[in-house]
Structure 1
Amino acid sequence: MSLAFWTVEEGAIVPEHSHMNEQIMQVLEGRFEFTLNGDTKVYEVNDIVIIPPHSPHSGKALTPCKLMDAFSPAREEYK
């Protein structure tokens, strides 16, 4: 497993992508619009999103945000 912490500026966009890792995203601060498999929702502080492997997802920071991602298995590029 690997953890990643992100500070995201308001208006920043995460382009649609997918990966082989299961991912759990938690919003630590702010409001983050997140699209998973074509379904868009707005997530706020302490909200969690579970992203299955190979699922297309993207996002946009509606405010300045702090996010935490947990990946399993570990993301090799984050080592």
Structure 2
Amino acid sequence: MLNMSKKQATLWFILVIVCVVITYYYQKSKAAEEYQKMLEMSAKNCDLETVKSLVKKVEMIQVLAKRHYIMLQRKDA
């Protein structure tokens, strides 16, 4: 790795960053699915405290996603 040219090192770095971003978004979507499943189970079992907690988490995820989308739109403009 010490004998790598700068171009190869840059390409390797970009590849690593892309993999990290893909992994991040995949895990984020899986977390949202898990919250949805837990919310459905809690609602079926009438566990009000868990439902309240999960609703707050799901709302927070949606707010963050909306903010991220708005920021991306501003960058593109």
TM interval, shorter chain, is under 0.3
More strand by share: 1
Please give the TM-score of this superposition, normalised by the length of structure 1: 0.16
Please give the TM-score of this superposition, normalised by the length of structure 2: 0.16
More helix by share: 2
Structure number with greater CO (CA < 8 Å, separation at least 6) is 1
